[in-house]
A and B are shown apart, each in its own frame.
Chain A
Amino acid sequence: AQSVTQLDSQVPVFEEAPVELRCNYSSSVSVYLFWYVQYPNQGLQLLLKYLSGSTLVKGINGFEAEFNKSQTSFHLRKPSVHISDTAEYFCAVRGFGNEKLTFGTGTRLTIIP
């Protein structure tokens, strides 16, 4: 079985401040990890993914995430946010050999001008 926990349902951040969105996962096998972004009234867009190799993964729009196997975490970070980053962010996991992608419940990021 696999699962994802996003502890923060909402995160307000001032514009140009740094942000971290937390994601923890559980799986009995090795995993692939993903972050998706959903802008209002749109579908999901892939931000970044961890498949193997370097634990620091860089994605689009200046976001990055670090895979920490010992802490079973895959937190998303951005050093300086913009109004345009206002969206909902979903962490997702897929275990090796599992055809299904499991999502967390999402974190709504609100940027305060």
Chain B
Amino acid sequence: NAGVTQTPKFRVLKTGQSMTLLCAQDMNHEYMYWYRQDPGMGLRLIHYSVGEGTTAKGEVPDGYNVSRLKKQNFLLGLESAAPSQTSVYFCASRATGVTADYGYTFGSGTRLTVV
């Protein structure tokens, strides 16, 4: 099925370990986003990309890095995980142009626990 796929779905990390979350979309969307969801705080934007090879910071970028080497993939990296990064991470993508419906398509999330 077309959409946004996130891997892995669950992960437990030890403090100081590193990992990469992968987001892949097959809808040829230009824009891609990484959000984190924490109880009572809604979704907060970490980083986003408006096209292949470009990235920008969102509201809460500290401790994360991203890369968009291919249009369909958007990677989120944690270089040295901290307990404060325990969260559910969502990737989203969006089409552009006059015919786009401006809606975002979300992945099913990655639940990350840092111990």
Give A residues with C-beta under 8 Å from B: 6, 9, 32, 34, 36, 42-46, 49, 51, 90, 94, 99-106
Contact = CB atoms under 8 A, between A and B. Distances in A.
A105 B58 contact: no
Interface of B: 31, 33, 35, 40-45, 48, 50, 56, 58, 90, 92, 101-104, 106-109
A49 B104 CA distance: 11
Contact of A99 (B31, B44, B103): B31
Contact of A100 (B58, B102, B107): B58
A34 B48 contact: no
B101 A105 contact: no
B33 A106 contact: no
Contact of A43 (B31, B103, B108): B108
Given A34-B103, A46-B103, A100-B58, 14 more contacts: A32-B102, A34-B104, A43-B108, A44-B43, A44-B90, A46-B104, A51-B102, A101-B33, A101-B104, A103-B35, A103-B42, A104-B42, A105-B40, A105-B42
Contacts of B40: 9, 105-106
Nearest to A6: B42
A43 B106 contact: yes
A90 B103 contact: no
A94 B44 CA distance: 13
18 contacts: A9-B40, A34-B103, A34-B104, A44-B43, A44-B90, A44-B104, A44-B106, A45-B106, A49-B101, A49-B102, A49-B103, A51-B101, A99-B48, A99-B50, A100-B33, A101-B92, A103-B42, A105-B41
Nearest to A45: B106
B42 A90 contact: yes
A63 to B, nearest CB: 15
The 3 tightest CB contacts between A and B, nearest first, are A105-B42, A103-B42, A103-B43
B41 A100 contact: no
A3 to B, nearest CB: 11
Nearest to A105: B42
A94 B40 CA distance: 21
Contacts of B92: 44, 101
